Amino acid sequence: MAESEIEKLVQQSERQDDLKQPTGGHARAIGAVRIQLQSAHLKKTGPAWLRWLFPKPNPFVEISINDTRIVGCSKQVCNTHDPYWFPQAFHALIYSSQDSIGLSVFSSRSKHWRTKLLGKASYDMCKLERDLVHLGISERLWKRGEEGGILLFDLVLYKPTSLRGTEDDTSKLLFPETTTNGFHCFAILAMGVMDLFIYEAKGLSSGDILASQLRPGVVVSIEMNGKDIVHSTPKGFSENPRWHSHCEILALQGRRTRLILEVKDGRTEIGHINLPIGDILRGEEQDGRWWPLSGSPQGRLRIKTGWKALSGVHEDVAGPEI
């Protein structure tokens, strides 16, 4: 066998090894949930003849998954026992049907006062297995075994649907294909889960840091109404680092969401990619494509992406955000 053919086989083997998906105990999302807050009726405390001495609460809701992963907080409604939050909505990835949604109602007079828990409710995701839409849920708020009021909210569960291959085949782009004027194009649904694999980078350089001292990492953010950091890779130890890192990103409005990948050494930015999710998915016709880094003349980043559309979503359903 010729030496050139051997080199080609070695390079192909290395490339296939590089593009293996990271293994381990990383849980994969089984869907996404939309929590739509409605209102609450909070129990008044103290004897009736003394209630005029107690100030009314300024309630807000903190939403979490399994009491560990904070989804977000609602706006604070001032001076009332009957707050109204509609149309504030929150979205979160769900990793197991055994997950539970926690809704804790707090009150705070101001940023200088200690936050006080008024009551907490929870809702098991297994109740959404048969009926994906639950409207007008009324759950009692509890604190130390005593009822603190009632919270009203809606829940909608979106399950990923595989439009190509199987649901576990993340090497394929899972978004629908349409034909317009004889040309094939990819139409991304409004809401979906993006698989992002960050493999390696090459040619990183920074005028402020020596190449031997580089400790680069990638900060992943999404930008729609604001910029939110969703993932960070471990630090590398060279100007050609390998991370083999994976994350899942919930894109509420795929047509308008931008993906930002910033390669940084501490607070120093080496280079970045800032593109709409649709452009990145359309450019991912080959596994592990190299993308040039803006701000780094020789810098390139190799990533792979996949898209899981969410069933029942055919238009922008993200709704008003807080």
- Which pLDDT belongs to residue 136? 95
Residue in this structure with the two tokens 């005593």, named with its chain if needed:
146
In degrees and rounded to multiples of 5, residue 12 shows phi and psi of: -65, -40
Question: Contact at 8 Å (CB) between 135 and 112?
Answer: no
Nearest to 308 by CA among 285, 287, 286, 277: 277
pLDDT at position 66, please?
A: 94
Q: For residue 224, what pLDDT is reported?
A: 80
Encode the chain (322 residues) as per-residue pLDDT tens digits: 444 543 444 344 444 444 444 444 467 889 999 999 999 999 987 666 666 677 789 999 999 999 999 999 999 999 999 999 998 999 999 999 999 999 999 998 765 567 899 999 999 999 998 889 999 999 999 999 999 999 999 999 998 875 433 344 433 333 444 433 333 334 455 688 999 999 999 999 766 666 667 889 999 999 987 788 899 999 988 889 999 999 999 988 777 889 999 999 988 899 999 999 888 887 765 566 899 999 988 899 999 988 888 876 544 444 444 4
Q: Any alpha helices (H) in 40-171, and if so which ranges?
A: none
Give the pLDDT score at 10: 37
According to the model, what pLDDT value does residue 59 have? 95
Q: What distance in Å separates the CA atoms of residue 276 and residue 257, rounded to the nearest whole number? A: 6
What pLDDT score was predicted for residue 206? 63
pLDDT (0 to 100) of residue 48: 64
**Who contacts 260 (Cβ-Cβ below 8 Å, separation ≥6)?**
220, 221, 222, 223, 227, 272, 273, 274
